[in-house]
Amino acid sequence: MDVKSTPYEPDLLDEKAHYREMYAHRSNFKQVVPFNDSQTEVLIHQVFRLQFLKDVILFSHLEDVSRSLLETIMNRKTTRIVQKLLGDRQFLMDLFDVLEDALQPLERRQDVVLFTHQFCIMAKKTNGAIYR
């Protein structure tokens, strides 16, 4: 999905906002362990795009109602991501196998820890019953 918004913002006084470059540099998607469900990755990209729209492109133009609507959509998609990942037993086993395998590079093991941290933050925001 290309961001095709006007790069000229009235608040920037003849300066050009470089949304495409910003989007390209901020969208560094790294998959530590492959997802078994391709829909999960699609949802992650959708949430990222919505977050980018809300926080960067439409930041000064959104009213409270519109902002609330975007946040609701993002929360629902985030809840679906958390549910899909929690329901994918093989993915979770593969993820933690990386940590247990001493032969794995340190960087990959650190990526698993960072992913787990991000996942816990996402799960906490969804208010779902993840602790069983």
Domain ranges of the chain: 10-126
How many residues make up the chain in this entry? 132
The residues pairing with 16 across neighbouring beta strands, listed in sequence order, are 8
Contact (Cβ atoms closer than 8 angstroms) between residue 39 and residue 84: yes
Q: Indicate the pLDDT class of residue 132, thresholds 50, 70 and 90.
A: low
The predicted-structure confidence for 36-81, as pLDDT tens digits, reads as follows: 999 999 999 899 888 888 777 666 666 777 788 888 898 999 999 9
Return d(Cα 88, Cα 21) in angstroms, integer: 35
